[in-house]
Amino acid sequence: MHYGEIRSGLDYLRGLGFEVEAGRLLGGNLRCLLKLSDTEFWPDFTDSILFIESYRITEESCLRYFGKLKERGVFDKIRGCMVGFNYSMQVKHPEMSQMETLLLRFTSGYDFPILKVEDFGHCCPNTVLPVGSQIELNADTKEVRIGLQRESVYLERFFLKASMFLSK
């Protein structure tokens, strides 16, 4: 397994004192991810690390999307969550509650760690997040380690399904 690290802009909102959480990396743009719900392309989030970001989003739509994730049982299954750069909230409307704060409040009954990362999202420098790879979150050291498995059958299957979905 080869590891890469995300170094800048790490802030844990919930998770200090946790064991290192590890799982399969799943997620993406929040609105686009939810377009896959109720399709054969919706992933199984069991023991995964969810990553989410957005381009244009309001507090109301953010909470509505979190509600859809909750209805789908995502928050019951994940081991942690990374919130990326959210352009409209952070740049255009910094006065509004930010996605990570809304998520922290919305998931107050859960105990998975939440990490704010500025290295992925819209209109910012981006770290490559290989969907389906293994990832580790360490709240105490504020480190994220992404492991790449070259023989990942899941990645091949996911990209094949995604390309089939996009071509329809």
Q: Which amino acid is at 93?
A: H
The predicted pLDDT at position 75 comes to: 97
Query: Which CA distances in Å does 106 have to 69, 99, 113, 119?
Result: 11, 10, 13, 23
Chain segment 120-149, per-residue pLDDT in tens: 766 666 677 788 889 888 777 777 888 765
Phi and psi of 77, rounded to 5°?
-105, -30
Number of domains in the chain: 1
Ranked by mean pLDDT, the top range of 10-19, 80-89, 101-110 is: 101-110
Domain CATH number, residue 133? 3.50.30.60
Rounded average pLDDT over 93-121:
89
- Which whole number is the average pLDDT over 148-162? 46
First to last CA, the chain: 34
Percent of the chain with pLDDT over 70: 73
Q: Which of 16-20, 22-26, 101-105, 134-138 has the lowest mean pLDDT?
A: 16-20
* Domain boundaries, position 137: 2-167
Please say if the pLDDT value at position 7 is more than 60.
Answer: no
Average pLDDT of the chain? 79
Q: What is the pLDDT of residue 30?
A: 95
